[in-house]
Amino acid sequence: KQEVTQIPAALSVPEGENLVLNCSFTDSAIYNLQWFRQDPGKGLTSLLLIQSSQREQTSGRLNASLDKSSGRSTLYIAASQPGDSATYLCAVTGGSQGNLIFGKGTKLSVKP
């Protein structure tokens, strides 16, 4: 059974710092991996989608990498801002149901 783990569970950094969020998964047979952002009391906003054949994707200050063979992904956030404060969720898609299997998230706090 696929399991997704995100470390750390919470992270607090000063504004301007570059940071890395980690995601690992137990079964490398995935179709893709998606990073989401969730603000308190809100829905999920898709940040980046990496296909299984890709190594990385970039969007603005965000860069996500995927190493399928080792079951790892990282989300790099450059020059963090207080507006980046949110919970970041990693999810993989695999199997026959087409559904996402989520990690429990990393709660990021960026202090001014």
Partner 1 sequence: NAGVTQTPKFQVLKTGQSMTLQCAQDMNHEYMSWYRQDPGMGLRLIHYSVGAGITDQGEVPNGYNVSRSTTEDFPLRLLSAAPSQTSVYFCASSYSWTTSYEQYFGPGTRLTVT
| Binding region for partner 1 (CB under 8 A) | 31-32, 34, 36, 41-46, 49, 51, 89, 91, 93-94, 97-100, 102-105
Half-sphere exposure of 15 (CA within 13 A, CB side): 5
Q: Whole-angstrom Cα distance, residue 37 to residue 44? A: 6
Closer to partner 1 by CB, 71 or 103: give it. Answer: 103
Q: Are 60 and 48 in contact (CB under 8 A)?
A: no
Closer to partner 1 by CB, 34 or 80: give it. Answer: 34
Closer to partner 1 by CB, 61 or 104: give it. Answer: 104
Residue 49 Cβ vs partner 1, minimum distance, rounded to whole Å? 5
Residue 56 Cβ vs partner 1, minimum distance, rounded to whole Å? 16
Residue 84, φ and ψ in degrees, nearest 5: -80, -10
Q: Whole-angstrom Cα distance, residue 7 to residue 53? A: 24
Residue 98 Cβ vs partner 1, minimum distance, rounded to whole Å? 4
DSSP 85: -
